[in-house]
Amino acid sequence: MFEREIDVARQAAESAGALLVELYGNDIHVRKKGRVDLVTDADVQAEDLIVKTIAAHFPSDGVLAEESGRYRGDSGRTWLIDPLDGTTNYAHGFPLFAVSIALEIEGRLELGVVSCPVMGEVFEARRGWGARLNGHPVHVAGTARLSEALLGTGFPYNLRQDPELHIDRFARMVLSAQGVRRPGSAAIDLCYVAAGRFDGFWEVGLKPWDTAAGVLMVEEAGGLVTTLQGEPFTPYAKSVLAANPVLHQEMVASFQRES
Ligand code: IPD
Ligand code: CA
Ligand code: CA
């Protein structure tokens, strides 16, 4: 199912990734969307390329893209697009960033592609088909205890509005887990859970384009994805918690104990 869609998504993600690499390190224009939220010319050009590629193949589909917003099609299908996930990394010359593209049909995620061009890695998932990294199946890790887990996380751009909550949560996880990393791209964090590189990932305040492709990747790799409170996840939820099913229970219990 969705052979043509995944081919188009892969082609769009790889072309956008190549464009990002071409512009990387050049003197590109960087603007602030908020106090710490950046956007570069590379975000805008990559998104333009992706949206045009998808519109050329599927003109009646809708699009929800980070920089240009929502276009409502009439097919009941919506493409969720983050042309550059990890803009802060990109703008600082820190080479970890990705292109994330997912397709949602009648509220259900059906496919996702995450391309990490500098690493030469493309993750792909389709519902019921599994998750793959450069064509090879990937699975979540089997780590069953938080004390043995390597976790990923991120901080929302509005961190300064309620710093204690996020920092307390981070401190608790750093003290309970084997290690916690903050790579700077939620799409990559989720793919790393799918590939067993991370045992778990949590973050609050992400947007649908950040999570959609990566969440399907985790589910198709055998992982569980919910909100921090253990409620069902949708790309429009306010938080995300992804892990293998055993570790997931321990992480939910830990977040539920928050006062
Ligand atoms: C950001 C990254 C980051 C996460 C932020 C996101 P952007 O996306 O995914 O890891 O912590 O919350 O907004 O702005 O680089 O596309
Ligand atoms: Ca993003
Ligand atoms: Ca982005």
Contact residues for 191 (Cβ-Cβ < 8 A; gap 6+): 98, 114, 116, 121, 123, 133, 214, 217
Question: How would residue 35 be classed by pLDDT, with cut points 50, 70 and 90?
Answer: confident
Residue 29 pLDDT: 81
Work out the pLDDT band at 259, boundaries 50, 70, 90: low
**CA of residue 56 to ligand 3 center, whole Å:** 22
More reliable by pLDDT, 124 or 35: 124
- Centre of ligand 3 from the C-alpha of residue 256, in Å: 30
Residue 98 C-alpha to ligand 2 middle, in angstroms? Answer: 9
The number of the ligand 1 atom at minimal distance from the alpha carbon of 89 is 15
pLDDT at 129: 96
Report the predicted TM-score, pTM, of the whole model to 2 decimal places: 0.96
Instruction: Write down the pLDDT at residue 36.
Output: 66
Query: pLDDT of 102-144, one tens digit each?
Result: 999 999 999 999 999 999 999 999 999 999 999 999 999 999 9
Q: Which domains does the chain have, with CATH numbers?
A: 3-137 (3.30.540.10), 146-256 (3.40.190.80)
Q: 3-state SS of 189-204?
A: HHHHHHCCCCCEEEEE
Report the chain's mean pLDDT, rounded to a whole number.
94
**Residue of 213, 191, 214, 202 lying closest to 238 (CA atoms):** 202
